[in-house]
């Protein structure tokens, strides 16, 4: 299980949001794959020294985002990406967000070319592993 | 089993003429980690001592595990673990002797293995005398003898006051471990907000004897916001915004600290006041707490000015 | 089980004072006996002994030789009573350990009884045993000019009981939350009054009655105060 989560209380981001963001990123960058089991709520809570309810809340949000599945009695597992794609609602939200970003980018004076290049750069970063190694496509 | 473990109704306490606690109303549900927040002298210790029958209320009542706090029976006390303010223990006793003493009051409930494990982890020996221990070590012993009887309800009065970060972490770990068991409830008072943010489900904020908030931690976090408004023209003098806590201003900008104000209300006000732009300023729990309990804006330490 | 744990703790805390009192008493009694075996030779000069003594009870008054030991016994047991009361009720306030003690799965009455029992045992073990030893030794034929009476032995015990009155009086004062110049000193003053009355009384029975009355009044007041006190 290659998932390392670190939280900092005292940040302006709530703890559960930090967990959601980190698990989400781990899934997006391929650090964990479909079918991998996330740490049990109690275990993660004990490791991070936080309330188990906070972990449970993060997992529940991840489940709403269709990034993970919880099987009662068994645990929480990373969801199959194919099933994620069927989420039309999420796609709509994402498109809206993209529109926002494009609008803002155009407003501050970026050209279409700049916007594309910046996006590609960022996308590339997700293709690399955190230790700098590249991921095989 | 009752769903509400601790309930205070209009709990009020005067010390001679000083009002220490003013009509406190709160409910602690079973299984909850409940953080009592407040500055020093706000009334947290008073509230806890009232709940445990160590003080008598001037008016109002409180019940703990269904029993009136003024008449807590020995059976009820057996179910409550109490970490006292300052972790004051019998100085002449050795740790082992203290354990024996404590064990006598929890026949059949003392977990010796847990106690020994905790001592090993803290690197303490049963032969050490309590008077030779540092504050931190005494706190560790206090935690060990209070958790080992496996209490149903754990009440901790500012347990990490004056302790270093490592020991504070141990206390939190102990709390997390305990809450892992069914039906356990924890009430603790603290002013270390990062600790509270880690473990609390619900918080109550007591400010100068008065309860100012009693809600889930996430609700509090979501409710207290700081919004900065930019104006093309003059900054409005009178602010008519629901939930306004504080305001700061300079020639072109206004910073409002709000509680419970909805997005619509903010947008509406921004429009009516002629603000060209507004955005949320990040706040962590400590920022929110300070803004929430700060004295009125007139009594500020300094005047904020645009450079 | 719980009472025993409390008792053990209180006794352990009383131990140094118990031993100190026993030592003082034993040491001074030994000196007294040593002195007296010398005086025996100078039987006609009783003026060498202290003429004044608060102990006026029958035999102690008659037997000048015993006056000193009676005084010693009184002061030692009163001292021990006072010190024990301070140790049990003032020191925890100073060290802030009341919260830990009161929150126990026993009634406050049991906690109080633990302290009382420890004080009584301490007085018996120190003053009582030393007095008994002294009396047994002093009764040996040839030491005192006339055989020591049983009565003297009993009176010695009554003097020790007065130490208990002193203990309870101090406890009541220590527990009182009033200001020192109002009713806080009541307990001590009460013990003091009993003491004065004891000076005047000479009959064994009356002494006993007075002490018992004092004890009853003090103990009932203490129980009432302790059960309602805030910590």
pLDDT confidence of residue A65:
86
Cβ–Cβ gap B176/A10 under 8 Å: no
pLDDT confidence of residue B148:
93
Which chains have 3+ CB pairs within 8 A of B?
A: A, C
- Mean pLDDT confidence for C204-220: 87
Mean pLDDT over the full length of chain B: 89
- Per-residue pLDDT tens over the stretch B155-203: 999 998 889 999 889 888 888 888 777 778 999 998 888 899 999 999 9
pLDDT confidence of residue C215:
92
Out of B33, B172, B283, name the one closest to residue A12 (CB): B283
Cβ–Cβ gap B198/A9 under 8 Å: yes
Residue B71 has pLDDT above 80, yes or no: yes
**d(Cα C113, Cα C181) in Å, to the nearest integer?**
29
Residue A98 host element (H or E): helix A88-107
Backbone angles phi and psi of A13, in degrees to 5: -95, 130
Q: In chain C, which residues have their Cβ closer than 8 Å to the Cβ of B150?
A: none
pLDDT confidence band for C150 (50 / 70 / 90): confident
158-197 in chain B: CB under 8 A from chain A = 169, 172-173, 176-177, 179-180, 193-195, 197
Chains B and A physically touch (3 or more Cβ atom pairs below 8 Å): yes
Cβ–Cβ gap B101/C1 under 8 Å: no
**d(Cα C96, Cα B92) in Å, to the nearest integer?**
14
Using CA atoms, how far residue C100 sits from B81, B85, B90, in Å, is 10, 10, 9
Beta partners for B187?
B34, B155
263-292 in chain B: CB under 8 A from chain A = 282-287
pLDDT confidence of residue A49:
92
ipTM score above 0.85: yes
104-163 in chain C: CB under 8 A from chain B = 104-107
**d(Cα A31, Cα B222) in Å, to the nearest integer?**
31
Residue A136 has pLDDT above 70, yes or no: no
pLDDT confidence band for C178 (50 / 70 / 90): confident
Residue C55 has pLDDT above 70, yes or no: no
- CA C117 to chain B, closest CA, distance in angstroms equals 17
pLDDT confidence band for B302 (50 / 70 / 90): very low
CA closest to B192 among chain A residues: A10
Cβ–Cβ gap C103/B78 under 8 Å: no
pLDDT confidence of residue A84:
63
pLDDT confidence of residue B111:
93
Q: What share of chain B is helix, strand, coil (3-state, %, to 5)?
A: 35, 30, 35
Of B222 and A128, the structure prediction assigns the larger pLDDT to: B222
Using CA atoms, how far residue B98 sits from A90, B89, C16, C110, in Å, is 59, 9, 19, 19
pLDDT confidence of residue C195:
77
- Per-residue pLDDT tens over the stretch C1-25: 899 999 999 999 999 999 999 999 9
Of B263 and B179, the structure prediction assigns the larger pLDDT to: B263
Cβ–Cβ gap B199/A50 under 8 Å: yes
Cβ–Cβ gap C103/B52 under 8 Å: yes
Q: B160 near B195, Cβ under 8 Å?
A: yes
**d(Cα C231, Cα C222) in Å, to the nearest integer?**
15
Q: In chain C, which residues have their Cβ closer than 8 Å to the Cβ of B106?
A: 105
Of B16 and B296, the structure prediction assigns the larger pLDDT to: B16
Residue B49 has pLDDT above 60, yes or no: yes
Cβ–Cβ gap C5/B75 under 8 Å: no
Task: Please state which of the ranges A72-76, A110-114, B125-129 shows the lowest mean pLDDT.
Answer: A72-76
Q: Hunting for tokens 């025996």 — which residue is that?
A: C40
Q: C119 near C81, Cβ under 8 Å?
A: yes
Nearest CA among C41, C111, C85 for reference residue C174: C85
Cβ–Cβ gap B55/C102 under 8 Å: no
Q: Which two tokens stand for residue B240?
A: 């008519």
The alpha carbons of chain B give a radius of gyration, in whole angstroms, of: 23
pLDDT confidence of residue B91:
95
A69-89 burial, b for 16+ CB within 10 Å, e for fewer? bbeeeebbbbbeeeeeeeeee
CA closest to A51 among chain B residues: B199
pLDDT confidence band for A137 (50 / 70 / 90): very low
Residue A78 has pLDDT above 50, yes or no: yes
Q: In chain C, which residues have their Cβ closer than 8 Å to the Cβ of B99?
A: none
CA closest to B97 among chain C residues: C9
Cβ–Cβ gap B218/A45 under 8 Å: no
Residue C96 has pLDDT above 80, yes or no: yes
- Mean pLDDT confidence for B278-289: 89
Strands (E), B16-152: 18-29, 33-37, 59-64, 67-68, 80-83
Task: List the domains of chain B with CATH numbers.
Answer: 4-208 (3.40.50.300), 222-299 (3.30.70)
pTM of the model: 0.84
pLDDT confidence of residue C121:
96
Helix axes A41-48, B165-179, angle to 10 degrees: 160
B54 Cβ contact list (under 8 Å, min separation 6)? C98, C99, C102, C103, C230, C231
Residue C49 has pLDDT above 50, yes or no: no
Q: Which two tokens stand for residue B44?
A: 């947290």
pLDDT confidence of residue A80:
79
pLDDT confidence of residue B307:
45
Sign of the alpha-carbon dihedral angle for C163, C169, C175, C178? negative
Residue B114 has pLDDT above 50, yes or no: yes
Eight-state DSSP code of residue C147: P
Q: Which two tokens stand for residue C202?
A: 């000479």
Is any Cβ of chain B less than 8 angstroms from the Cβ of C179?
no
Out of A11, A46, A50, name the one closest to residue B284 (CB): A11
Out of B176, B286, B287, name the one closest to residue A49 (CB): B176
Domain ranges of chain C: 2-30+53-228
Note every long-range contact of B211-215, with CB atoms under 8 Å and residues 24 or more positions apart, other chains counting.
B211/B23, B211/B24, B211/B25, B211/B26, B212/B292, B212/B293, B213/B292, B214/B25, B214/B26
**Proportion of chain B above pLDDT 70, given as a percent:** 95
pLDDT confidence of residue B262:
87
- Mean pLDDT confidence for B253-279: 87
Q: Which of C8, C94, C100 is the mutation pick for testing B, counting most B CBs within 10 A?
A: C100
Residue B35 has pLDDT above 60, yes or no: yes
Cβ–Cβ gap C13/B92 under 8 Å: yes
Q: B235 near B251, Cβ under 8 Å?
A: yes
Q: Which two tokens stand for residue B246?
A: 């504080």
pLDDT confidence band for C125 (50 / 70 / 90): very high
Strands (E), B201-285: 202-207, 210-216, 224-231, 244-249, 253-259, 275-281
- Mean pLDDT confidence for A38-53: 91
- CA C115 to chain B, closest CA, distance in angstroms equals 15
* Burial label, B42 (beta-carbon count in 10 A; 0-12, 13-18, 19+): buried
- Per-residue pLDDT tens over the stretch B266-278: 888 888 888 888 8
Q: B213 near B292, Cβ under 8 Å?
A: yes
**d(Cα B223, Cα C182) in Å, to the nearest integer?**
53
pLDDT confidence band for B304 (50 / 70 / 90): very low
What is the maximum span of chain C, computed from C-alpha positions, in angstroms?
64
Query: Considering only CB atoms, which residues of chain A are within 8 Å of chain B?
Result: 9-12, 14-16, 42, 45-46, 48-53, 57
Cβ–Cβ gap B77/C103 under 8 Å: yes
**d(Cα B112, Cα B149) in Å, to the nearest integer?**
9
- Per-residue pLDDT tens over the stretch A100-124: 888 888 888 888 898 999 888 888 8
Beta partners for B63?
B7, B68
**d(Cα B114, Cα B177) in Å, to the nearest integer?**
11
């Amino acid at each position: 299980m290659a998932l390392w989560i670190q939280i900092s209380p005292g940040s302006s981001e709530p703890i559960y949001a930090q967990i959601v963001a980190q698990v989400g990123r781990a899934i997006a960058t391929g650090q964990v794959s479909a079918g991998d089991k996330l740490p049990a709520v109690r275990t993660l809570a004990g490791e991070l020294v936080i309330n188990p309810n906070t972990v449970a809340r993060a997992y529940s949000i991840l489940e709403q985002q269709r990034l993970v599945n919880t099987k009662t009695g068994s645990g929480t597992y990373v969801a199959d990406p194919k099933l994620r794609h069927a989420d039309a609602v999420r796609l709509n939200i994402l498109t809206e967000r993209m529109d926002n970003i494009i609008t803002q980018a155009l407003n501050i004076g970026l050209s279409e070319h700049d916007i594309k290049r910046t996006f590609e750069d960022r996308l590339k970063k997700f293709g690399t592993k955190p230790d700098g190694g590249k991921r095989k496509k | 089993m009752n769903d509400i473990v601790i309930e205070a109704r209009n709990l009020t306490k005067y010390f001679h003429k000083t009002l220490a606690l003013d009509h406190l109303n709160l409910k602690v549900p079973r299984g909850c980690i409940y953080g009592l927040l407040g500055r020093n002298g706000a009334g947290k210790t008073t509230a806890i001592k009232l709940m445990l029958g160590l003080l008598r209320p001037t008016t109002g009542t409180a019940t703990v595990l269904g029993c009136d706090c003024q008449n807590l029976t020995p059976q009820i006390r057996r179910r409550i673990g109490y970490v006292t303010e300052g972790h004051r223990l019998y100085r002449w006793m050795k740790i082992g002797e203290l354990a024996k003493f404590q064990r006598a009051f929890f026949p059949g409930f003392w977990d010796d293995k847990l106690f020994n494990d905790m001592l090993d982890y803290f690197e303490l020996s049963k032969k050490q005398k309590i008077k030779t221990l540092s504050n931190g070590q005494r706190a560790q012993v206090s935690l060990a003898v209070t958790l080992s009887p496996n209490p149903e309800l754990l009440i901790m009065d500012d347990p990490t006051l004056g302790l270093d970060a490592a020991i504070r972490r141990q206390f939190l770990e102990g709390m997390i471990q305990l809450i892992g068991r069914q039906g356990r409830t924890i009430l603790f008072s603290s002013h270390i907000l990062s600790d509270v943010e880690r473990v609390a489900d619900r918080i109550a904020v007591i400010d100068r004897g008065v309860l100012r908030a009693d809600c889930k931690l996430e609700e509090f976090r979501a409710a207290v916001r700081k919004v900065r408004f930019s104006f093309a023209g003059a900054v409005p003098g009178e602010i008519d915004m629901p939930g306004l806590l504080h305001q700061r201003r300079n020639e072109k900008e206004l910073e409002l600290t709000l509680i419970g104000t909805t997005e619509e209300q903010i947008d509406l006000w921004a429009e009516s006041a002629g603000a060209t732009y507004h955005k949320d300023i990040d706040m962590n729990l400590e920022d929110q707490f300070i803004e929430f309990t700060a004295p009125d804006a007139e009594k500020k330490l300094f005047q904020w000015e645009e450079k | 089980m719980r009472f025993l744990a409390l008792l053990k703790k209180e006794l352990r805390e009383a131990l140094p004072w118990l031993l100190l009192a026993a030592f003082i008493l034993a040491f001074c009694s030994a000196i007294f006996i040593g002195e007296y075996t010398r005086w025996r030779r100078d039987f006609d000069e009783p003026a060498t002994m202290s003429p004044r003594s608060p102990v006026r009870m029958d035999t102690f008054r008659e037997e000048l030789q015993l006056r000193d030991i009676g005084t010693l016994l009184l002061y030692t047991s009163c001292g021990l009573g006072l010190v024990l009361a301070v140790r049990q009720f003032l020191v925890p306030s100073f060290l802030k350990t009341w919260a830990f003690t009161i929150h126990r799965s026993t009634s406050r009455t049991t906690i109080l009884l633990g302290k009382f029992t420890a004080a009584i045992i301490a007085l018996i073990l120190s003053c009582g045993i030393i007095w008994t030893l002294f009396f047994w030794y002093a009764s040996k034929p040839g030491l005192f000019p006339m055989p020591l009476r049983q009565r003297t032995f009993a009176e010695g015990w009554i003097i020790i009981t007065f130490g208990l009155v002193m203990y309870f009086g101090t406890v009541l004062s220590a527990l009182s939350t009033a200001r020192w110049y109002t009713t806080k000193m009541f307990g001590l003053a009460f013990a003091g009054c009993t003491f004065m009355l004891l000076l005047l009384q000479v009959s064994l029975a009356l002494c006993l009655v007075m002490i018992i009355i004092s004890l009853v009044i003090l103990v009932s007041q203490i129980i009432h105060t302790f059960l309602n006190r805030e910590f």
